[in-house]
Amino acid sequence: MERRQIIVVGGGLAGTATALGLAQAGFDTLLAAPQPPADKRSSAILGKSLAFLADLGVVEALGARHAPLAVMRIIDDLGRLFRAPTVEFRASEIGLNAFGINALNADLAAALAERTAAAKTLEIRELAATGLTLTDEHAVVTLEDGSEIGADLIIAADGRRSPMREAAGIRSHQWRYPQTAIVLNFKHAVDHGHVSTEFHTRSGPFTQVPLPGRRSSLVWVEDPKLAELYVDLKPEKLSKTVAEKLHWILGEVSIEEPVGCYPLGGSRVDRLTSTRLALVGEAAHAFPPIGAQGLNLGLRDAEALVRLAAESRDDPGSPLMLGRYQAARRGDVLTRTAGVDILNRSLLMDFLPTQIARSGALAAMGLISPLRQFAMREGLVPGAGLTGLPRSVRKWMGGHDARGDHVEE
């Protein structure tokens, strides 16, 4: 039987970044994953997640195929009695040039592939994992060609329906929302100025995020029946509809096909680890595309796992390392999952006290700069709201933390 130190199962962005990080840390690593389908979506990479990718050389490999996110704007477009004021979060207010970047997932995958090809201790097999055996001494993964490979640690990064998670006996709690996300990219007449605008509507967020040039990506959360109708519109009619929903802030727009459509749901797990196994990315948590938290949460999983495994180099799959990983990630995962869920459900509620509370919270952030700065730092790095941003984040975001020169390593 073959043997590796670590096997990563799943070749999405979070899984590939985990495998690359482990290989660069010197571990004999195998990435087992079929070639993923083409992905026309984009992802905003923020704060600590961007610093992690930059340290792996992925941002350099990405080159100019990204747009910085300098301002994040929230506009209340609910049309209800209590309307929240527009709030703008500016990276410059906390001493940064940008909160992060937005790039097409295909370009991120290409940049990761360039870096994985140069990783000397990483092997990639485009095969699905079909079996898993876990013992106190070692783990064994069976691939679809029948080969069995032993390892000290298995990392399940194989999506929200993770077969590895199920084989390990970790329970996942799934739920659905009465919403569908329409995802597309578009060109526009007016420059976006590196501003991302999120309209809060009665059906959910309608979020424009900058891409290079006069292009942006859009995540449009809508009622499922209406989403089907919108997706079937002719490109010219859909382009006009998008421009109208943007209140023409970017002028005339032109939709780029294809247009994707995804039912929204979420999931959480009872625990992030099992014997010689750790969960990363959507195998561990999933929620709607709100606030750019999904992939960023998965990349923070990856960063923590690489760092902790390197500190337990003699046995990266030991109970001590896995316990530390569980402790390091549990709070971040729980708070982000709950926060996104509460925000999304609050948009769907007509309950008057909920409307007042939501409007009041946004108004407070718009008026009270320390509260707004706290929210921005906390959004970039969990725990940084009070302590300040770590040096690694300031390095890749540019500038210095507005609170001073606090350094967290």
Domains annotated on the chain, with CATH: 2-68+104-173+266-357 (3.50.50.60), 178-260 (3.30.9.10)
pLDDT of residue 25: 97
409 pLDDT band, cuts 50/70/90, is very low
The answer, yes or no, to whether residue 182 has pLDDT greater than 90, is yes
The answer, yes or no, to whether residue 80 has pLDDT greater than 70, is no
Mean pLDDT of 322-340: 90
The answer, yes or no, to whether residue 126 has pLDDT greater than 70, is yes
C-alpha closest to that of 292 among 198, 405, 397: 198
Judged by average pLDDT, the poorest of 101-115, 146-160, 222-236, 360-374 is 360-374
pLDDT of residue 403: 41
C-alpha closest to that of 399 among 70, 160, 163: 70
Judged by average pLDDT, the poorest of 109-118, 254-263, 280-289, 379-388 is 379-388
Provide the mean pLDDT of the chain.
89
Residues in the chain: 409
Mean pLDDT of 20-40: 93
pLDDT of residue 278: 98
The answer, yes or no, to whether residue 370 has pLDDT greater than 90, is no
pLDDT in tens, 282-315: 999 988 776 567 899 999 999 999 999 999 999 9
Sheet (strand 2-3) strand order? 2-3, 148-151, 139-143, 129-134
Judged by average pLDDT, the poorest of 58-62, 232-236, 281-285, 359-363 is 359-363
399 pLDDT band, cuts 50/70/90, is low
pLDDT of residue 405: 38
Mean pLDDT of 194-204: 92
pLDDT in tens, 252-272: 999 998 899 999 988 999 999
pLDDT of residue 83: 72
| Burial of 377 per CB tally in 10 Å (0-12, 13-18, 19+) | buried
Mean pLDDT of 89-109: 94
Q: Are 150 and 238 in contact (CB under 8 A)?
A: no
| Greatest extent of the chain over all pairs of C-alpha atoms, in Å | 67
CB-based contacts of 158, cutoff 8 Å, min separation 6 = 9, 10, 15, 33, 129, 164, 165, 283
List residues bridging with 206 in a β-sheet: 199, 220
The answer, yes or no, to whether residue 408 has pLDDT greater than 60, is no
The answer, yes or no, to whether residue 199 has pLDDT greater than 90, is yes
Q: State the SS3 of the chain.
A: CEECCEEEECCCHHHHHHHHHHHHCCCCEEEECCCCCCCCCEEEEEHHHHHHHHHCCHHHHHCCCCEEECEEEEEECCCCCCCCCCEEEEHHHHCECCCEEEEEHHHHHHHHHHHHHCCCCEEEECCCEEEEEECCCCEEEEECCCCEEEECEEEECCCCCCHHHHHCCCCEEEEEEEEEEEEEEEEECCCCCCEEEEEEECCEEEEEEEECCCEEEEEEEECHHHHHHHHCCCHHHHHHHHHHHCCCCCCCEEEEEEEEEEEEEEEEECCCEECCEEECHHHCEECCCCCCCHHHHHHHHHHHHHHHHHCCCCCCCCHHHHHHHHHHHHHHHHHHHHHHHHHHHHHHCCCHHHHHHHHHHHHHHHHCHHHHHHHHHHHHCCCHHHHCCCHHHHHHHCECCCCCCCCCC
77 pLDDT band, cuts 50/70/90, is confident
